[in-house]
Every structure is written in structure tokens, then in C-alpha cells.
């Protein structure tokens, strides 16, 4: 089971143009700082936030309770010129979870209703063993050599966005989701998907865009644990230590020791 | 003529995984803060930055000289765990300008060459009358009523990204460029394009995605002047004061008074 | 028992002038952002950080364990051009606690030893009932009417600093500590001090500086709980609901309900 | 002539406790971020800001005009939950300049008048040769060896604050001002003061506190130019290249080349 939180700036559209349109460089600074802060604040509790549309963000929040959400919501009100609403959903798949979360927010009123502010409706997961996050870190093979150093910046950007759109649509077929995290990287909460699903999906994307992908898949109790595992998987693929371009690591099973040791020792070890 | 600057984090890929993969929430906080800071610092000189891929950013920098670029480059080095390279190009169209800028950076070595750091190669525009920025602020009609309040958050996000990809590909045909700026908004540096081009482009996008777009187009000596004009144009369209869903305002011609007065008086005035 | 953490930027002095002195406005931006981030990150776990000297900061960290300290230390390394060392001490009084913490850091080498980096030596408190923070929020009476609106800004600033120095020296006599938190406000971790101690101390400061002080004193399991109580105490004094200019509230005893209710209902209630 | 700007958060005291006291770690994050941003934004125009009391800040703003102040004021409104007022004064000495600036703000109403918002009253200096900033960078000798590595952190902090108070009071005698900038460093706008004044002042402070100070003094058209010169002076003192513990450099006279070269070559050159 995965827990997904939706974060929505309250009545933001009207604010951006009241009393007159606000300077765009300020809005960009404001929105990206909100995203930065949310990552630090959810990250303090091993969550992970995606910018999505900047005014509507999504987070993986397994292990993060109502009180912690409330404290972050307060902190935004205390430091920003607007407030945010938050709702979470819990489900077998990420897509189902966000659907539940969205419905909760929508039921309380419109995103541009000025009387609907600071909704807080958090469904929490209990601590049982099946409540893990599955998270894939998807990466383009050798973007530096094939695009960044070769093509002009805009063409590279268009290519990355072609992959992005293909990926987020493909993932939806599996009730998973995908988000851009910078460079040539994407993160996909994907509970329920298999390595074979990824290989098939990458095949499709390769056919439509000509671009090769690889993915480390991590499983863990929190977004951070899963993400760390996914990163290590990706490094193992890079180091040609894996059979295919997709590789899964489970935090609980991962070596007998713990991740702290692994990090110290480096990843050049037998993992499975 | 428009001046486009490319900003590239030096040798960033290797850094993110040395000595081991860094926590993803920290990387997201770091990258979005860089974007925020660059907008404040270029914004202080009326420039505007787009996040593009977060490790490779683009800015409209008409009116911003080499020394100012150098000062921002120094400031990043003084506050971040990495350095950035910057190059600008100047051309009749945005696409051509970024092509020149990219080539300058690529000629100095790979994005992942650890000895290639802090490239600075800025071509500046002189002050003459033809050196203006044309910038469109493109917006989806009633996204709140048709998507945000109705569909689930992921589906809305997929729809916005479909528009995004369609738009950035269409714009390229005109040697223009497009960037997502949050919500349902896009900005397009588009020197050389006409209102008719936009109407035609929107028609195509409507056909392929089913989504209606509108655009304020601003012309001014700097990105900020152009952006302010585009925003006012957009408000006029919203207020049904215009014949079509595209409307252009030129900073120099805009009323006899100046923008400060307009902002005070509000935009509900005759503009043309 | 109180837990105090010392945070020291590693080898910072040499960095500020290598290879040449760095721009001062950047250093100010960098240092204050570090302070801001540390407050958000420790604040996420109900801690509170004081800027102290900006390169050496102090935090009240009751309830915050080694792993959380380590995660914050990593996050700084992941986002800043330097690393930090951290050590905590635990004692009956704040002054004793910081002494222990300082000794731990000093024993590992000089603040300007380039090989001594990322020390982490955290002594944690267990969860027992006596492990509370006592924290006073000290405030100047009517600074707006007597200084800010009347004197020039520099003279007001000198006056506030006179109070500051007098206060931090007086507090040391009680093995307590004091920190400026902006405006006319000071926070004093002060386990072991009584209301009478404060009244006597304020008398001395009034005699030497002519300035009247008041203080809410809060007691709680964490810095945040104590701080919230201190703030409520201060509001009660402001509302003339208390007999003297010092008033103590204990989080555990505070009303039968909980603080969330109080906050909702406002503080205009009987509290004791 | 020096130009000093006062920046005051409008009606901030009441906001911090409405509807109930806000979490202190958030307020610390908010205030220090404001300070950080103001340094980046004034710094973009070669100004320098001091945190002073965090709700009332001071900046050296030679060369920064009304429009730039207005743009920064707007940017704060666009990104913070409050607004700021700004006024500048121009005079032969820093103390006189801030006095003028304070009076302008006070004349418009109280700092806690909710109807007095976003005052903007900027007196600008023209470009003539005599309009330079004199700025001293004052530093404690070997604080690392004598205090940081030896004493406990609180005692070191008390010592630094003793120096701070002594310094800001002494400087006032010369119509100069002093501000803490972190570590063991202070900055003093000090137009009109001589090296002898500094030596005498340091003698007095040594007698009262036992602590040895040194100062680089810089003269330049902007705070940044002056600050850079002061820093280089300080390095020359550190390198024992000067006769006394105070050394002045003037940006205009400084070598025949320019500062960029100097920075590249390092400071180990003949300077006068
Ligand atoms: N957010 C995030 N971005 C990363 C990470 N690792 C790399 N990147 C980004 O990806 C870009 C390209 O780096 P790489 O993927 O290492 O380079 P590459 O040329 O594709 O090489 P291979 O992936 O090894 O084939 C970098 O500039 C970063 O922006 C990561 O862990 N997180
Ligand atoms: N970056 C940026 N985003 C904006 C701006 N104005 C609106 N937005 C974003 O767009 C979202 C939707 O707002 P609107 O476009 O006003 O809402 P709408 O329902 O589409 O209404 P109409 O555009 O008036 O048809 C907001 O939540 C913001 O995220 C702007 O000036 N800049
Ligand atoms: N950090 C912090 N600063 C505060 C807080 N409350 C007020 N301040 C600061 O204190 C300044 C003065 O506000 P007040 O103390 O309310 O004003 P006053 O005129 O002294 O009024 P009284 O204290 O009620 O006599 C404000 O500008 C803020 O900078 C708080 O809770 N935390
Ligand atoms: N803001 C600021 N702080 C600085 C600067 N240089 C040093 N510091 C601070 O001062 C602290 C002490 O560094 P130093 O002054 O180099 O150390 P020191 O032991 O006193 O050595 P000497 O001054 O060379 O005798 C550092 O930790 C920094 O916090 C600077 O240029 N600006
Ligand atoms: Ca890659
Ligand atoms: Ca819209
Ligand atoms: Ca007060
Ligand atoms: Ca020193």
C-alpha cells in the first residue's frame, strides 16, 4: 500500500493577478522555493515531493502522519503569502491513491474558492509489513554523449519531454505515475509493477522516441528508503553488474547489515 | 534581436552519485533553489529564467551584460556545492539564439568534463531600438472548471503535459521556444511570430488535445517589460476586451503614460 | 535535563578567503540561509536553533536523536559548499550542556583543521518525565512607542544590544543562556531558574539600561512545546492577566485539553 | 557622502501573534530568509544589507536608485506574508544618514500602524567623485586559537558580544556605525574616520575587553567595491604586509589595473 498526498495552493490563480499581474520572475522564485521547502520538510520525515504543476504538487508520504502534515501546513502559512490544502489517499497503486486524495480535496470546494482554505484530510498507513513504497528511478542512457554535448539545448529539452510524456502515459496503464526530477531523470512510484513491465515499457518508448532507458527499482517502508535502493540499483546497472537494464532492491532484504554500512562501503558489493 | 543565455551546472551528474547517491529530496531542494535564486538574480536586472531541465537552464537576458553574468556566476560558486557555466547567443529568433549559445558551451568541452568549469561567454546586445524581446504568456482556458476541480490530479497533469509537448514542438516550427511556468501556464519567447501564427498553432493543439489556449503577447526591451505586457494582454482577453484569444501589447507604445501608472490604475482601460 | 547541540561549520574561515575574499553579500546570504534551513530541519522535529555566531550555532534538541542529526548533517553537505560538525551535551542546565558539547567538538581537532570534518557526537536524552526544556521568551515593553517610533534606528539598535549583553551575562550567572531572536525579543533556555530569578534579573537590567522587560516561561518536552507555552505566557502578560511581568506555563499541565484546542480557542482563557 | 536605507517590516509585531503566536522556528526561518534575499537583491546592485534587528534592517545603498528599491519592495510583497517600508538618507556620515532615513519613516506613521504600508522614500546620490562609501571590515585576532578551540561556545559568544557592544558604541562617537556579520567579524560604514581613529578605538576596546582587533578599510563608489577593498586590506594585515593593524585601500587608486586582475593574481602584490 502506498500513501500519496496532494498539496494544492489555495485560490492561487486569482492571487497571481491581484491587484495586477505579479512579476513573473518573482512567481517562479516563489513557486520553486515552495517546492524546495516542501522537499526539505517532508524529506525530514523520509517523504519525497514532486513539483507536478507547482501549484498542485504530489508527495509520497508513507510513514508521515496527520500531525506532521499539519505542522508543514502551518509552516507554509507562517512563511508564505498563501496557504495550502493537503489530502492523502492510500491504495494498492499510486494512481488509485492520488485519485482518492484528489476527490477529498475536490469535495471541499473549488481550487479557486476563496473560502475553502487549509483543507487537511490525511489518511495514514499503519506500520504493517505490506505497506511499502515501490519507486523506480528512470534514467536516459548516456544523455551527455548523445544529446547534451551534441544537440542544441532546446532540441535536447524537446527530446527529454518526449520521453517524459511517453513515460507518464505508459505508467498510467499500470496504475503507476511518473515525474521529472531534473536532467534526464524521472521518478515513478510504481507499486504493483514488475521488472518485466518496465522492460516492455522501455521497449515501447525506445520504439516511439529512439531513446534508451534504464531503471533502478527500490522497495522500502518510506519514499526515502525506496529511493535510496533505486539509486543503488541504478549504479549497479551503470557498473554493468546486472543482467538487464532494470534492477530491483528491497531495503529490508538488502544485505544483512544496514544501509549506513553499505553507503560507507560503497555499492560495489554483491547485492542479491 | 533576442539574447538567450544557457546556464549549465558543471559536471553535475558525477557529483550526484559521489561518493554514493545523494538523498533525492535534497537534490530536489537544491535544484529548485538554484532555479529560484537565478530568477531573483537575473530578475534583479529584468531577465527571466526557465528551469528547462534544472541542470541546464535557459534565460532571456536582453539588457544584461557580461559583468552581471559574471557576478551571478560568482555568487553561485560562493553559495552552492557546484559551479555553473554560462554562454549567450544573440539572433533574430529565440531558437537560433540558443543554438549559438549551446555551441559555445559545447566547444569548450563536455558537460561532464571535470576540468571544464565556469565557462563564461556572453554576447551582449546593444541598446538599439530593434533589440526587443517578444514573449507570449500562454494559458489554458478555465483549467479550474474543466480539469483541476473535475479530474484526478494525475490525469490533469498528463493533460497539461500533452499541451506542453504539443506547444514546444509547434513553437519550434517558428524558431520560437516554450517553457512551462506552473499551473496551466507557459511562456514562449517568440520573436518573429505573429498573432495569426498563434491562432493557427492553437487550432492545431485544440485538434490534437481538445484543449483551448489563449495568449497575451508582450514586446519590450527586456524580458520583464515584455512579460508585463503579455500579462496585461492576458487579463484583457480574460475580461473579454479583445476580439480574439491572442492579444499583443508593446511596452513602448503602451499608453502615453507609463506602466507604473497603468499598474496603479489597473488594466481596465483602453489599450490600443 | 536539557539537550544542547553545537553546530560548527568546518574550516569556514579559510574557505571565506580562498582563493580570494568572497563577496560579503553572498556570505551573508549563505550564512543566514544555513540558519534558516537548520531551523526548518530541526524545527521539523520540534527543535529550535539560535544563530549565535552564524558559523557556530546552538540548538535545543530534546527529543532529537543521532540519526536525525546525521540526516541534517548529510543534507547540509548535499546542498552547501561546506560541511558541518555537530555535538550535543545533556545536563541539568543549558550552560553545562553546551560546555559538554563544546568539549566534544574541541577534542576532535581545531575548528580550522581541514582534516576534522563532519564530527557527529550526539548524546540523547531518554523519554523520562524530568527531561523537559525550560525556555523563556523575553521581550521589551512597548519598544514601538519608546524606541522604534521615537529614536533613530541606530540608537534603538544600540539600546537593544545593551539589553542583549546585560541579559546574556546575567543569565550565565544562573547557568542559563540567552539569544537574540529579532525585534526586541530574546530566548533563554533556563532550566533551573525560577520566576523570582527573572524578576531580580530584570530589576538589575532595568537599573543598568533603563529598559523594562517581561518574560513568558514555558516548560515542555521539546523546545517547541516550551516555546509555545512561553509565547502564550507572554500574551497573558500583555493582556494584563498576570500578577507580575513573568509568567510560567507547563505544557503537560496546561488545561485539560490540548494545545491544539487552545490555539483554536485563542489564549484569552483562564490558564491556571 | 554615504546613502543608508532603512528597511522596516510593516506592522510585524501584531502579525507574529495573530491569531495566535506563530511557531518560533518558522519565524526564525522567515526572518533570516528575508535577510538572505535582501542581500542577494541589493547585492545584485552592489549594495550590502545588515540584519540589525531583523524586523528593521539597514543597507548601504550608494548607486542604488528609487526604481531598484521599488522593485525589491515589490518582490518582497510578491513572496512574503508581509510588506516592507523603505527610506534612505544621504549624509557625510553613516550615523547622520540613517537618522534622516529613520525620520522619514517615522513621519509616515508608527511601525505598528496597520494603515502605514510600503512607504518608499529614497534619496539618491548623484554620481560625483566624492560620493564614496568608506567601510571597515573589523576582525578579532586569532579567535580560533584563543577562544573557539579553547573556551566553551557560550563564553566565546559572550566575548564576541562584549566586543560588539563596545565597538558599536565607540563607532557612534565618530558618527559611524557597526554591525556583526558572523564569526568574529564586524562591518563598519565609517565615512570620515581615519586609521588613527581606528587604532585609538581598538586600544580602548583592548583595554575594556582584552581582545585585539584589526581592520581593513575600503573606499569605493559602492558598498561592494569598498567591501572588497576592506577584505584585501585585511588579508594584507594577516600576511604581515602592513605597518599597523589597520590598513586602507581605495578602489579607484588600487593598482593601475583593475580589481578583476588583482583577484586573479591574488593579493600578494604591492598595493600602494
Ligand atoms: N535529480 C537527480 N538528477 C540526477 C541524478 N543523477 C544524475 N542526475 C541528472 O542527470 C544528468 C545526467 O547525468 P547522468 O545520467 O549521470 O549522465 P549520462 O550521460 O546520461 O550517463 P549515464 O546515465 O551513466 O549513461 C545530470 O546532469 C543530472 O541533472 C540523481 O540522482 N538525481
Ligand atoms: N506562473 C504563473 N502561473 C499563473 C499565473 N496566473 C495563473 N497561474 C497559474 O494558473 C493556475 C490556474 O489559474 P487560472 O489560469 O487563473 O485559472 P483558470 O481556471 O484556467 O481560469 P482562466 O485562465 O481565467 O480561464 C493557477 O493555479 C496558477 O498556478 C501567472 O501569472 N504566472
Ligand atoms: N522572533 C519573534 N519576534 C517577535 C515576536 N513577537 C514580536 N516580535 C518582534 O518584536 C517586535 C516588536 O513587537 P512587539 O513586542 O509586539 O511590540 P512592542 O511595542 O514592544 O509591544 P509590547 O511588547 O506589547 O509592549 C516586532 O517587530 C517583531 O520583530 C515573536 O513571537 N518572535
Ligand atoms: N562574514 C564573514 N565572516 C568571515 C570572513 N572571514 C572569516 N569569517 C568568520 O570568522 C571566523 C574566524 O575566522 P578567521 O578570522 O579567519 O580566524 P582567526 O582564528 O580569527 O584568524 P585570524 O583572523 O587570521 O587571526 C570564521 O569562522 C568565519 O565565521 C568574511 O570575510 N566574512
Ligand atoms: Ca543518464
Ligand atoms: Ca487558465
Ligand atoms: Ca515588545
Ligand atoms: Ca579573525
Instruction: Kindly list the domain boundaries of chain B, sorted by start residue.
Output: 2-122, 133-258
User: Counting beta carbons within 10 angstroms of the beta carbon of residue A118, is it exposed (0 to 12), middle (13 to 18) or buried (19 or more)?
Assistant: middle
pTM of the model: 0.95
Which cell numbers hold the place of A183? Answer: 536532467
For the CA of B231, the closest atom of ligand 2 is: 31
Helix and strand numbers, DSSP H then E, in chain B: 9, 10
Sheet of D246-250, strands arranged across: D179-182, D185-189, D133-140, D213-220, D246-250
Sheet of A84-91, strands arranged across: A48-50, A56-60, A2-9, A84-91, A120-121
User: Which chain C positions have a beta carbon within 8 Å of B73's beta carbon?
Assistant: none
pLDDT of residue D207: 97
Q: CB of A51 within 8 A of CB of A34?
A: no
Asked if B43's CB is within 8 angstroms of D45's CB, the reply is no
pLDDT of residue B126: 81
**What is the rounded distance in angstroms from the CA atom of residue B34 to the CA atom of residue B192?**
31
Closest CA to A217 of A260, A180, A186: A186
**What is the rounded distance in angstroms from the CA atom of residue B228 to the CA atom of residue A129?**
54
Output the CA B112–ligand 1 centroid distance in Å.
10
State yes or no: pLDDT of C262 exceeds 70.
Answer: no
Task: Give the pLDDT band of residue C255 (cuts 50, 70, 90).
Answer: low
Contact status of D67 with chain A (Cβ, < 8 Å)? no
The whole-angstrom distance between D245's CA and the closest CA on chain A is: 43
Q: Which member of C40, C71, C72 has the closest CB to residue A37?
A: C40
User: Which chain D positions have a beta carbon within 8 Å of C28's beta carbon?
Assistant: 35-36, 39, 48-49, 51, 181-182
Which cell numbers hold the place of B4? Answer: 538567450
As a three-state string, the secondary structure of A64-82 is CCHHHHHHHHHHHHHHCCC
Tell me the C-alpha to C-alpha distance, in Å, between residue C39 and each of B191, C78, C180, C221. Answer: 45, 17, 15, 18
B238 ligand 2 Cβ < 6 A: yes
**Cross-strand partners of A84:** A9
Which stretch of A231-235, A249-253, B150-154, C61-65 has the lowest confidence by average pLDDT?
A249-253
Tell me the C-alpha to C-alpha distance, in Å, between residue D101 and each of C145, C154, D54, D89. Answer: 18, 11, 17, 4
Mean pLDDT, rounded, for C50-64: 98
Among A34, A35, A36, A40, pick the best mutation site for testing chain C contact (most C Cβ within 10 A): A40
A16 ligand 2 Cβ < 6 A: yes
Which cell numbers hold the place of D118? Answer: 510600503
**What is the rounded distance in angstroms from the CA atom of residue C133 to the CA atom of residue C227?**
9
B144 ligand 2 Cβ < 6 A: yes
pLDDT of residue B114: 93
User: Which chain C positions have a beta carbon within 8 Å of D232's beta carbon?
Assistant: 21
Tell me the C-alpha to C-alpha distance, in Å, between residue D32 and each of A79, B104, C185. Answer: 11, 39, 15
Phi first, then psi, for residue A102 (nearest 5°) are -60, -45
Q: CB of B64 within 8 A of CB of A25?
A: no
The chains found to touch A (3+ Cβ pairs under 8 angstroms) are B, C, D
Q: Which member of B37, B45, B68 has the closest CB to residue D40?
A: B37
Peptide bond into D103 cis (omega under 30): no
Q: What is the pLDDT of residues C76-96, one digit of tens each?
A: 999 999 999 999 999 999 999
| 3-state helix vs strand vs coil in chain C, percent to 5 | 45, 20, 35
Q: What is the CA radius of gyration of chain B?
A: 19
DSSP string, A228-272: HHHHHHHHHHHTT-SSSSEEEEETTTS-SS-HHHHHHH-S-S---
Ligand 2 pocket, mutate which of B151, B160, B182 (most atoms under 8 A from CB): B182
Pairing of strands B120-121, B133-140: unpaired
Asked if D154's CB is within 8 angstroms of C20's CB, the reply is no
Which stretch of A173-187, B126-140, C33-47 has the lowest confidence by average pLDDT?
B126-140
Which cell numbers hold the place of B113? Answer: 568534463
Contact status of A47 with chain B (Cβ, < 8 Å)? yes
Contact status of A99 with chain D (Cβ, < 8 Å)? no
pLDDT of residue A254: 83
Mean pLDDT, rounded, for A107-130: 92
Q: What is the pLDDT of residues A82-106, one digit of tens each?
A: 999 999 999 999 999 999 999 999 9
Tell me the C-alpha to C-alpha distance, in Å, between residue B272 and each of B239, B269, D96. Answer: 15, 9, 49
| In chain A, residues 146-205 whose CB comes closer than 8 Å to chain D | none
State yes or no: pLDDT of A149 exceeds 80.
Answer: yes
Contact status of A55 with chain B (Cβ, < 8 Å)? yes
Q: What is the pLDDT of residues B125-139, one digit of tens each?
A: 887 778 999 999 999
**What is the rounded distance in angstroms from the CA atom of residue D145 to the CA atom of residue D138?**
18
Q: Where are the beta strands (DSSP E) in chain A?
A: 2-9, 48-50, 56-60, 84-91, 120-121, 133-140, 179-182, 185-189, 213-220, 246-250
User: Counting beta carbons within 10 angstroms of the beta carbon of residue C161, is it exposed (0 to 12), middle (13 to 18) or buried (19 or more)?
Assistant: buried
Residue corresponding to grid cell 577584505? D231
The count of other CB atoms within 10 Å of the CB of residue A142 is 12
Task: Give the pLDDT band of residue A129 (cuts 50, 70, 90).
Answer: confident
The nearest alpha carbon in chain D to B37 belongs to D40
pLDDT of residue A265: 35
Among C43, C95, C183, pick the best mutation site for testing chain D contact (most D Cβ within 10 A): C183
The nearest alpha carbon in chain A to B267 belongs to A20
Is there a common fold for D2-122 and D133-258?
A: yes
Asked if C40's CB is within 8 angstroms of A71's CB, the reply is no
Q: CB of A60 within 8 A of CB of A2?
A: yes
Residue corresponding to grid cell 522593485? D71
Q: What is the pLDDT of residues A46-73, one digit of tens each?
A: 999 999 999 999 999 999 999 999 999 9
pLDDT of residue D258: 45
Which cell numbers hold the place of A207? Answer: 520504439
State yes or no: pLDDT of C270 exceeds 70.
Answer: no
Asked if A33's CB is within 8 angstroms of D75's CB, the reply is no
Which cell numbers hold the place of A252? Answer: 529490508
Task: Give the pLDDT band of residue D35 (cuts 50, 70, 90).
Answer: very high
Q: What is the pLDDT of residues A180-213, one digit of tens each?
A: 999 999 999 999 999 999 999 999 999 999 999 9
Closest CA to C3 of C133, C113, C174, C147: C133
User: Which chain D positions have a beta carbon within 8 Å of C99's beta carbon?
Assistant: 152, 154
Residue corresponding to grid cell 549504479? A235
Q: Which helix (H) or strand (E) holds B60?
A: strand B56-60
The chains found to touch C (3+ Cβ pairs under 8 angstroms) are A, B, D
> Does the structural domain D133-258 have CATH classification 3.30.230.10?
no
User: Which chain B positions have a beta carbon within 8 Å of C33's beta carbon?
Assistant: 79
Q: CB of A10 within 8 A of CB of A85?
A: yes
**Cross-strand partners of C60:** C4, C48
Q: What is the pLDDT of residues B77-111, one digit of tens each?
A: 999 999 999 999 999 999 999 999 999 999 999 99
Q: What is the pLDDT of residues D58-89, one digit of tens each?
A: 999 999 999 999 999 999 999 999 999 999 99
pLDDT of residue B255: 55
Which cell numbers hold the place of B65? Answer: 551584460
Output the CA C18–ligand 8 centroid distance in Å.
15
Q: CB of D26 within 8 A of CB of A75?
A: yes
The whole-angstrom distance between B54's CA and the closest CA on chain A is: 5
Output the CA A43–ligand 1 centroid distance in Å.
21
Mean pLDDT, rounded, for A3-17: 97
Q: Which residue has the higher pLDDT, A177 or A126?
A: A177
Pairing of strands A84-91, A120-121: parallel
**What is the rounded distance in angstroms from the CA atom of residue B182 to the CA atom of residue B185?**
6
Go through C235-268 and write b for each residue having 16 or more CB atoms within 10 A of its CB, e for each that does not.
bbbeeebbeebbbbbbbeebeeeebeebeeeebe
Task: Give the pLDDT band of residue B259 (cuts 50, 70, 90).
Answer: very low
pLDDT of residue C128: 79
Q: Where are the beta strands (DSSP E) in chain C?
A: 2-9, 48-50, 56-60, 84-91, 120-121, 133-140, 179-182, 185-189, 213-220, 246-250
Task: Give the pLDDT band of residue C211 (cuts 50, 70, 90).
Answer: very high
DSSP string, chain D: -EEEEEEEETTHHHHHTSSSPPPHHHHHHHHHHHHHHHHHHHHTTT-EEE-TTSSEEEEE-TT--HHHHHHHHHHHHHHSSS-EEEEEEEESSHHHHHHHHHHHHHHT--TT-TT----EE-----S-TT--EEEEEEEETTHIIIIITTS-HHHHHHHHHHHHHHHHHHHHHTT---EEEETTEEEEE-TT--HHHHHHHHHHHHHHH---EEEEEEEESSHHHHHHHHHHHHHHHHTT-SSSSEEEEETTTS-SS-HHHHHHH-S-S---
**What is the rounded distance in angstroms from the CA atom of residue B191 to the CA atom of residue B132?**
8
State yes or no: pLDDT of C265 exceeds 60.
Answer: no
- State chain C's mean pLDDT as an integer: 93
Tell me the C-alpha to C-alpha distance, in Å, between residue C102 and each of B216, C56, D154. Answer: 60, 10, 9
Which stretch of B199-213, C106-120, C124-138 has the lowest confidence by average pLDDT?
C124-138
Q: CB of C187 within 8 A of CB of C48?
A: yes
User: Which chain C positions have a beta carbon within 8 Å of D172's beta carbon?
Assistant: 154, 158
- Looking at the domain that runs over D2-122, which CATH code has it been given? 3.30.70.1230
Q: CB of B262 within 8 A of CB of B255?
A: yes
Amino acid at each position: 500500500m502506498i500513501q500519496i498526498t496532494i498539496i494544492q495552493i489555495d485560490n492561487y490563480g486569482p492571487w497571481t493577478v491581484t491587484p495586477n499581474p505579479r512579476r513573473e520572475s518573482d512567481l517562479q522564485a516563489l513557486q520553486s522555493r515552495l517546492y524546495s521547502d516542501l522537499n526539505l520538510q517532508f524529506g525530514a520525515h523520509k517523504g519525497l515531493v514532486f513539483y507536478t504543476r507547482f501549484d498542485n504538487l504530489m508527495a509520497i508520504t508513507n510513514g508521515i502522519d496527520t500531525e506532521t502534515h499539519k505542522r508543514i501546513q502551518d509552516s507554509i502559512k507562517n512563511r508564505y503569502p498563501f496557504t495550502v490544502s493537503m489530502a492523502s489517499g492510500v491504495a494498492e497503486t499510486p494512481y488509485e491513491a492520488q485519485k482518492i486524495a484528489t476527490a477529498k480535496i475536490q469535495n471541499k470546494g473549488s481550487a479557486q474558492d476563496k473560502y475553502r482554505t487549509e483543507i487537511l484530510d490525511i489518511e495514514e498507513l499503519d506500520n504493517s509489513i505490506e505497506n511499502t513504497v515501490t519507486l523506480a528511478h528512470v534514467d536516459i542512457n548516456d544523455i551527455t554523449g548523445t544529446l547534451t554535448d551534441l544537440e542544441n539545448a532546446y532540441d535536447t529539452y524537446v527530446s527529454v519531454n518526449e520521453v517524459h510524456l511517453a513515460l507518464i502515459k505508459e505508467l498510467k496503464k499500470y496504475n503507476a505515475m511518473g515525474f521529472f526530477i531534473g536532467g534526464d531523470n524521472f521518478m515513478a512510484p510504481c507499486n504493483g509493477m514488475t521488472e518485466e513491465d518496465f522492460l516492455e515499457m522501455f521497449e515501447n518508448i525506445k520504439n516511439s522516441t529512439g531513446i534508451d532507458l534504464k531503471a533502478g527499482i527500490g522497495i522500502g517502508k518510506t519514499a526515502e528508503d525506496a529511493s535510496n535502493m533505486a539509486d543503488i540499483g541504478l549504479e549497479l546497472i551503470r557498473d554493468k553488474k546486472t543482467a538487464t537494464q532494470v534492477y530491483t532492491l528491497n531495503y529490508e532484504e538488502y544485505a544483512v547489515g544496514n544501509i549506513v554500512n553499505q553507503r560507507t562501503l560503497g555499492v560495489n558489493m554483491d547485492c542479491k
